[in-house]
Each structure stands twice: as structure tokens, then as C-alpha cells.
Structure 1
């Protein structure tokens, strides 16, 4: 597994590189933000570990540029900024996980390997919203009206439920991570916690019961749509 570590503290950088390489990972290091995107594109890592407080360019800006450039590599933010607001901002910008400093190396390894497994099982990540009017197993999201139809009949959904369903319809049968769903359901809402996705998913699951399509929870991976047999 290839890991790109973007961290400006030399001692922390060296310590993490040694620890992860002992665990069988290949680690490339970079210490400042201004050319971090170039290094990211050149190294094609499986997982990126990103510090936020970088010289030259802030880590959030690096992440935003990477996502805008179409880089879908899983990103774990490593930072001393550990408030809920900071976490939400990082996840909204496109991070997949968040680990505040100081952290346990065993936990970091577990999260890196989980990110790598998730990426491998889900296949290449597609940007949510790629298909404007996705459909699956009789369910269809109409982009013009924002309505959802089941077998041609309107399905009564609240706006957040419809947004969650639309995001899931982009990849039916494949898991979509909670962070990605949060971006689709709560865009730009920095005061909302990630766990709010679970509440919307619970409501949507009940709405879908008569349709023959199940909303399945995969622990550690996210949610997926599955047509009933």
C-alpha cells in the first residue's frame, strides 16, 4: 500500500514514516502545501495523510484543489485542530476521515487500512451528482423537479431524504461513505454533525419499505441501495 504523508513537522514526519513502513506500507513524505498537489498527482498514493497547518498553502486548500482536479484518493486528516467545527469543515472539503493529534499509531494504521479496503471494495469513486437523473430498480430521481418516482408514481420524500437517495442512486449496489453522503445532504452546513446522516438514512429506509428497494447499512463502509430478491 502506498501512503502519501503531507506533514510539515520533521520529527512527526520521520516518526510516522518509520512507524508505517514497519507495518509494511510504502510512505512518501512532503512537508509544505504549495506543491503538495503536484506530489499527490505524481505519486498516485492509495491513501493520503494530510496535516492542515502547512506552510505555503493550508491543508484544506490542498484538499479542495485535489478534489477539484478529480483526485478521489481517500484522505485522512491529521491535525491538532480537533473541534467539531474543524472536523465538519474538513469532511465538507472532501476528507474521508479525521484523526486529531495526538493519536495512537495502532489506530492510525487501522484507519489507513480501512480506507484502503473501502476504496478497493467500492471501486473507483465517482463524483456524486455525475448523473443528473439517476434511476435504479424502478426508482428515479427527476433532476428538473427534484421529485423521486417509484414505478412512475411520485414517492413522498422530504428534501434531505431525496438528496440522500439521489446520492445513493448514483452507485446502486455499491457502498457510499457517510462522509460523501453528508456532502450531498448537508452541503455547506458547518453546524451539523456527521451523525445527522444516520437520522436521514433511518427515515429514508422507512420510506423505501413499500418500493422493493432496501437501504442497507455496511458498518465502516457506508450505505447502499439493494433491490429485494
Structure 2
């Protein structure tokens, strides 16, 4: 049994202590982080190694993006995809001794205007989603798990108000279609929603809210997917809402699932 956690940490060096707290509280076998905002050599990997996570596969860049896979178990670097041809650290993959591959993905947020002609950031986001679709259509995943901040809340219950969010970046129809196409192209299953099919689920709350918990205008932007041959191996999904209330938090919270590999 393998527990995997994914978390957009919004600066690994700034929130190193929160990662330590999560490790001590939950002890996942594998922890995938996004938006590390540091080159690989500046990530505090020694801290996590001392806590029992000596294996790491990372891609980083100064001040932006960055993805890391930390593990109690041995990992083999399985490469990375230059998503959208942006030249940014938005994907890294690792292979476990059992042969299963973990993809850690950070899709661009896309800015504030959902118009690819007027907003280059939104155009980049759609390009990244199309790249994921085309990649997994050409190379169908086998014994694979994909996690990360995909920056799209696809379902009506993945946002606080479906009607009011239809024109807001992260829940627009074109983004939802892009994410759905990528999922279907690879035969992926949304593990969290397979386990928790009904009710509101959020993994992100804006910093702009005076009281995030009281307003509770969240979005489910962070995902765990399983390839078709692992869909029945996944279970026990959880979203750690309480982490949003930790001191100096990320605006995202961890999402976890277990796999029988």
C-alpha cells in the first residue's frame, strides 16, 4: 500500500516548515510538490532526507514554477516534459521499483482574463492542456499515477458557485474541455471524485478573502489521477482542508490517496 500526497506549496523554502509538519502528521510514502520556486540545488532536500525521505526527483527554476517528488522508497528519474514548449519546470516523472510511474504536473494558472487572444498566459495554459492530451494519446499511460496542481476545477461541485464561475479562469468551459480531453486521451480516472463522488470539494482558497473559512469560496484545482489499469487500486482519498488554516499557509492544501501497488 502506497500513500501519495500532492501539494502546491507556493515556495518550498518559505514554507519548508509546513512540509515538515505535514510529513510528521501524515507520513505519506510519496509527497509531490508544485510551485517550489527554487532551482534544484536550492531546495531543502536534506531536511526531508533527515525525516525519512532520502529519495527525490526534482525540476526547478529560480523564483517560479518547480516540481519535486519526495519519497521514502527508491525512485528512478523518469524524465520530464517541456509542457507547452514553455521551457519551464512544470513536469517531472519518477519510476518506482514496482514499475509504476508517477507524473507530477503544474499547469499554468492562466492569468485573470479567459481570452487566449488578449491574454498570453491563458493561451499558454490551453497549450499546456493540449500538450498533455497529445502526449498521453501518443504514449498511453501504463501503471501510472498523475498528480498535481492542474489549475482547473472541472465539475460543478468543484467550485463554490458554478454559475458565477463560468467566466472565471479555472472553471471556464474551454479549460474544462481541455482538461477533460487530456484525461480521456490517457484513459485517466479522477481518483478523488471516484472516491468522493458527491458534494462540494475544494483544495484552494484565495488569499484575497478576509476570512477564507467563513466565505468558503474554494475551488478543487489539485488532482490525483490513475491510469486505467490502476483505477481499482486507488482508494481512501482525502483533502486536508485544515492545512489552509496553518500559519503563513499556501493557498492550496494537500490532497492524498492510497494505492495498492
Q: Which has the higher contact order (CA 8 A, sep 6+)?
A: 2
Give the TM-score taking structure 2 as reference length. Answer: 0.29
Give 1 or 2: higher helix fraction: 1
